[in-house]
Structure 1
Amino acid sequence: MGDLTLHGSVSPDSLKEVDQFDGQEMSAAEKARLEQIVWRKLDRWVLPIATIFYLLSFLDRSNIANARVAGMQTSLKMSNYQYSIALTMTYVPYIAAEFPSNLLLKYVGPRWMLPTMVTIWGLVATMQGVVKTYSGLLACRFFLGLMEGGLFPGLVLYLSFFYPRERLQIRVATFFASASLSGAFSGLLAAAITNIDGKGGRPGWAWIFILEGIFTFLFGFTCFFILPNSPATATFFSTKERHYVLARLKEDGAVSSDDKSDNFSWIEVLRCFKSLHVLMLTPVLFVLGVTLYGLAYFEPTIVAGLGYTGNKAQLMSAPPFVVAFVVSMITAVIADRYNCRGFMIIFFTFCNVVGFAMFYAAKSNHVRYGSLFLTITGCYCSAPPAITWVTNNSAPHVRRATSVAIAFIMTNAGGILATWLMGSLSPAPNYTKATLTNLIMSIASCVLACVNLAYLWRQNRLKAERRQLMTQADEPEGMGDESAWFVYKL
C-alpha cells in the first residue's frame, strides 16, 4: 500500500489538481462526469467486498448465539458461566490483533492481508461444527478472534484510502450495517439449517457452523483475485479516473505526495493518546461495544425468554436487525450530506436510553420485544458515525491507523464486559443488572458525545482564527489533524 500516503494538511497545489490533468484545465461538465463515474466504480468494486467481509465476520462470530438456542450448550454440557468464557475467549486475541494488524495493513497490502484473514477464519469457523468437547470449542474461538481481530479496523482504514472524508460514513455504514443484516440473516439461516439436524451424524447446531464457515472460506479465497490494493493500482479505473481520485483525496487531505508523513513513528502513536477528541470518544465506543455485542450474542436468548421457542425464537430475532439496517443506511446518507456525525451519535444513544428504560420498566413481553427495536437500532446506527468521526478527524496515516485501532480496542473491550454482563452476572429473562448498567452507560455516552461535539466546534473556530494570522508555509511540518488547515468534521 506504499503508493498512498495520508496526512491532514492540504497543499495549495493540490487544490488545483482536481481541475486539471497534464496542465490542461478540465471543464465543469467533465469534472461532474468524473465525479459520478469514479465513486460509482468504487461502490461496485470495493464496497461490496468490504460489506460481505464484515457480514461474514459478524455472522461467524455471533452465530454461536443461534447455535446455543439450537442445542449447542446442552450437547457440549456447558454451563452459562462456560458460555461466557467461550465468548470472552474470542475477544482476548481479537483485541490483541487490532493494533499491529492496522499498522501492517499498508505495508503488507490489503489485497493480501484482508483475504488471508477471511480465508483462515473461515476454516476455523467450520471447525466449530466438528468439535465434541468444550475445550475444543474454546480453541476454535481463540483462533477465530485472532484472525478476525484486524478486519473491522482494517476495512475502515482501507476505505479511507479510497474515499474523501465527506463520502466515508455512508460507505462505513454500508458495510457496518451488514452486521445488523447478519443479525437478521443469521436467525433466518439458522432456522433453515437446523432442519437438517442429524444429517451426516451432526446435530443442527453443528451444521450452522459448518455451512456458514465453508462459504466464508470460499469467498475469502476468491477475493485474492478481485480485491483492489489502492486507487493507484485499481485496474477498473482509466488513467484519467485514477488521477482524478488521487487528486480528490489529496484535496481532502487524505493523500499526500510526501512519503515522510507516512513513515511509522512512535511519536505519532503517542499523539493519539493525547488527542482529546479521540479520548472523549473511547468511553462512547466502549459503551457501544457493550450494547452492540451484548445484543448480538444474547438477543436470540432474550427473545426466547419473552415466550418464543425453537425456530420461532430464531425468526422473531430477525425484525429488529432489519429495522436497524434500514435506519442505518438512511441516517448515514444524512450524516455524510450534512456532516453531522456528532448529532447522529447523540440521537441514537438517546434511543438506547429510551429502549433500555422500556425493557427495565415494562412488565409486558410485547413492550419488551418492542424495546429491542430501539436498543438494537440505537447501537447499530450510532457505531458507524462514531467510527467515522474518529477516522475523519485523525491524520496522518500512522495517527489515523492508531486512532482507529484504539476505537476498536475499546469497542471490543466492551464486548468482553457484555459477555459477562448479560451472561452469568445478570440472569435471564429480566437481565436487571445488565439493563440498568446499559441504561446508565448510554446516558453517559450521550453526554460525552455532546461534549466532544462542542470541543471540535471550538477547535475549528480557533483554527479559523489562526488561518487569518498566518500562511500554511509558516506552519511547522507534521501537524496532521492539529494543522490550522485541517478542519474537523462535526
Structure 2
Amino acid sequence: MASSPSHLSSGSDLEKREKPLSELTLDKPAESPYLNDALEKRVWRKLDLYVLPVVSVFYLLSFIDRTNVANARVAGMQADLKMTNHDYSVALTVTYVPYIIAELPSNLLLKAVGPNWMLPTMLTLWGIVATLQGVVTSYSGLLACRFFLGLFEGGVFPGLVLYLSFFYPRQRLQWRISAFFSCASLSGAFSGLLAFGIINLDGVGGKRGWAWIFFLEGIFTVLFGVVSFWLLPKSPAHAYFFNENEKNYVIERLKDDGATGKDASVDAFSWREVRKAFMLPQTWILGVVLFCDGTVLYGLAYFAPSIIQGLGFTAARAQLMSVPPFAVAFVTATISAFISDHYHCRGLVLIFSSVMCVIGFGMFLGSQSHSVQYGSLFMSIPGTYIVAPTLSTWLANNAAPHTRRATAIAIGFILTNSGGILATWLLGALSPAPRYTKATIVLLVFSVLMVLFSALNLGYLWDQNKKKRVIREGMDRSKEDPSLGDKSAWFEYNL
C-alpha cells in the first residue's frame, strides 16, 4: 500500500482525515493514489464485517444445495429412485444446462436490477427448490428439481464476484473472493458432517435419511434468503453502515484503482462493451484454465464421497472421511489468497496450485494403495479450491469498465460450468468406480493444461504491461479516451 502523502500526516492530520473527501485530492494516477489511513482501515473493516460474511454464507449455501446430491446418493437416493449411474449423470447435467444459460444475462442485469434485490431473490427461490428435492418419489421429479435449481442458482457465483468488485479495489479483491469461495471447500466438509448426522433421521416422518438432507439444508437456505433482503447494500453509495465521508472515500478509491470508470457513463451498459469482452485475449487464455478447473472442481465436489466409499469405507464412514480434505482446502485457499493479494502474484499462485492437482491425480492413478489414494485427495482437492478463486479474481481484476468485466466474468463461469457437465459424465457413466481410471487420466491432463495456460496468461499480461509503460512516456492522461478501460495505458494488468 502506498504511504500517505506528507500533507495528510502533518500536525493537523486528524482534522484532514475527517474533512469531506471532496477536499482531499484523489484524482491522482493509479500509481500514486492519495490514501487516508484512518478511513482506509475503517471502510474495509466495515465491509469485511457487514458484506463479506453475508456473501460467504450465500456461496456456502449455494454449494451445499448444489452438491449435497452426492451425499444423498451415498445415503440411498439412487437406489430408492431406481437410478442407474447414467441416470445420476443426466440429473447432474440437467442442473448445468440452465445454470450456464442464466450466467451471462444474470450478470448483465445485476447492476440494473440491483444486487440487493436480485441475489436474495435467487437465494430464496433456489432454497425452495432444494427443499422440494426431499419430497420427490421418482427420477423425473428429481430431474425437474435439478433443472430449476440450476436456473435460479446460475448467476450466483459470477454475480457474487461482480458484486464484490463494486466494493473492493483490485488488490484487495482476491482475499475476499477466496474468503467466500473457501466456503465451497468448507461446504464439502460441512456437508459431509451434516449428512453423517442427518441420515440418522432415516424413517422419521416416513422419510428416508437422504430426504432429510434436502429438507433441513434447503429450509435454512430459504430462511437466510428472506433475511438477506435487509443485509445486502446495493453499492457503496447505499451502504447503511457507511457515513457520507466513508461512502465518498470508497467510491473515489474504486475510481482511482480503475475498478470503476471516472465517468459514470463509461460504466453504463452497452453491447459494444459486451463484444469487447469476447475479444480480450486474457479471457480466452484463462477460459481454458477455467474449463479445466471446472471439470476438476465439480468432479471432486460431486464424487468425493463416492470415491472415498470405493476405497472400502461404509456409506456413513465415507461421509465422515470426506471432511478432512475439504477442511485442508479451506485453510490453504485462505492462506494462498493472502499471499496472492499481499505479494501481487496471482499467476504464480495459480501455477503452484495447479501443480498440486497434477501431483494429486498422479498419486491416485499410479498407486494401488487405498491409503495413498485417499492421501492424494489432500493434494487435488486443496489444489483445485485454490485455483478457482485465484482464477475468478484474476479475470475480474483485468477487465474494465463494468459491462466488459461483467461479461468476462460470465464467460469464465460459463466455461467453468461447461467443465462441470463434462465432470458429471467422466466420473459417472464413462469411468467406472472404484478406480475411475479414464476420468483420472483426463483430470491429470487437464491439470497440466492449467499449469501451461496459467503461465501463458502471466507472460501475456507481463508483456502488455511492458508495452503500456512505453506508451505512457510523454503521454497526457487527460487526453486519453476514458472508455478504453483495461486497454488504457494507465491500467496496469494484475499479475
Structures share fold, TM-score greater than 0.5: yes
Number of matched pairs? 474
AA aligned to 1:405 is A
Shift of the alpha carbon at 1:473?
2.8
1:393 aligns with 2:406: no
The 2-side partners of 1:376 and 1:19 are apart by 49
1:54 aligns with 2:66: no
1:406 aligns with 2:411: yes
Of 55, 64, 69, the residue aligned with 1:64 is 69
Shift of the alpha carbon at 1:22?
3.9
1:248 aligns with 2:236: no
Tell me what 2:361 maps to.
Answer: 356
Tell me what 1:12 maps to.
Answer: none
Of 174, 177, 198, the residue aligned with 1:172 is 177
Shift of the alpha carbon at 1:29?
12
Shift of the alpha carbon at 1:19?
9.5
Of 308, 311, 322, the residue aligned with 2:327 is 322
Of 181, 195, 204, the residue aligned with 1:199 is 204
Mind listing any 5+ residue stretches in structure 1 that lack a counterpart? 1-15
Change beyond 3 A, Cα 1:270–1:386: same
With a CA cutoff of 8 Å and minimum separation of 6, indicate the structure with the bigger relative contact order: 1
Of 118, 121, 127, the residue aligned with 1:122 is 127
Change beyond 3 A, Cα 1:340–1:30: closer
SS at match of 2:473: helix
AA aligned to 2:23 is G
SS at match of 1:283: helix
1:286 aligns with 2:291: yes
Tell me what 1:445 maps to.
Answer: 450
The 1-side partners of 2:35 and 2:359 are apart by 49
Shift of the alpha carbon at 1:119?
0.2
Equivalent runs, 1:83-482 vs 2, <5 Å: 83-482=88-487
SS at match of 1:478: helix
Is contact 1:129-1:210 (8 Å) kept? yes
AA aligned to 2:63 is F
Is contact 2:289-2:450 (8 Å) kept? yes
Is contact 2:261-2:485 (8 Å) kept? no
Is contact 1:17-1:247 (8 Å) kept? no
Change beyond 3 A, Cα 1:30–1:456: closer
Deviates more, 1:439-448 or 1:66-75: 439-448
AA aligned to 1:113 is M
Deviates more, 1:250-259 or 1:136-145: 250-259
The 1-side partners of 2:428 and 2:421 are apart by 11
Shift of the alpha carbon at 1:245?
1.0
The 2-side partners of 1:287 and 1:24 are apart by 46
The 2-side partners of 1:98 and 1:25 are apart by 39
The 2-side partners of 1:17 and 1:335 are apart by 30
The 2-side partners of 1:433 and 1:25 are apart by 60
Shift of the alpha carbon at 1:383?
0.8
Is contact 2:20-2:245 (8 Å) kept? no
Is contact 1:18-1:248 (8 Å) kept? no
Is contact 1:164-1:252 (8 Å) kept? yes
The 2-side partners of 1:448 and 1:426 are apart by 26
Is contact 1:359-1:371 (8 Å) kept? yes
Tell me what 2:21 maps to.
Answer: 21
AA aligned to 2:408 is S
Tell me what 1:74 maps to.
Answer: 79
The 2-side partners of 1:171 and 1:319 are apart by 23
Is contact 2:261-2:482 (8 Å) kept? no
Percent identity, aligned pairs only, is 59
Change beyond 3 A, Cα 1:20–1:430: same
Deviates more, 1:319-328 or 1:435-444: 435-444
The 1-side partners of 2:183 and 2:354 are apart by 20
**Alignment deviations for residues 224-250 of structure 1 (CA, whole Å, 9 cap, x no partner):** 112111100111111111111111111
1:483 aligns with 2:477: no
**Alignment deviations for residues 428-475 of structure 1 (CA, whole Å, 9 cap, x no partner):** 000000000111111112101101101100100100000004211332
The 2-side partners of 1:423 and 1:469 are apart by 59
Mind listing any 5+ residue stretches in structure 2 that lack a counterpart? 1-15, 27-32
Shift of the alpha carbon at 1:199?
0.5
The 2-side partners of 1:24 and 1:47 are apart by 28
Is contact 1:18-1:251 (8 Å) kept? no
The 2-side partners of 1:24 and 1:174 are apart by 32
Root-mean-square deviation over aligned CA pairs = 1.8
Shift of the alpha carbon at 1:85?
0.2
**Alignment deviations for residues 181-213 of structure 1 (CA, whole Å, 9 cap, x no partner):** 000000000000000100011000000001100
TM-score by length of structure 2 reads 0.94
AA aligned to 1:133 is S
AA aligned to 1:21 is L
Deviates more, 1:104-113 or 1:247-256: 247-256
Is contact 2:295-2:420 (8 Å) kept? yes
AA aligned to 2:422 is L
Is contact 1:164-1:249 (8 Å) kept? yes
Tell me what 1:32 maps to.
Answer: 37
Change beyond 3 A, Cα 1:196–1:333: same
SS at match of 1:479: helix
The 1-side partners of 2:458 and 2:35 are apart by 37
The 1-side partners of 2:327 and 2:484 are apart by 42
SS at match of 1:308: coil
Change beyond 3 A, Cα 1:345–1:264: same
The 2-side partners of 1:260 and 1:238 are apart by 25
The 2-side partners of 1:94 and 1:486 are apart by 33
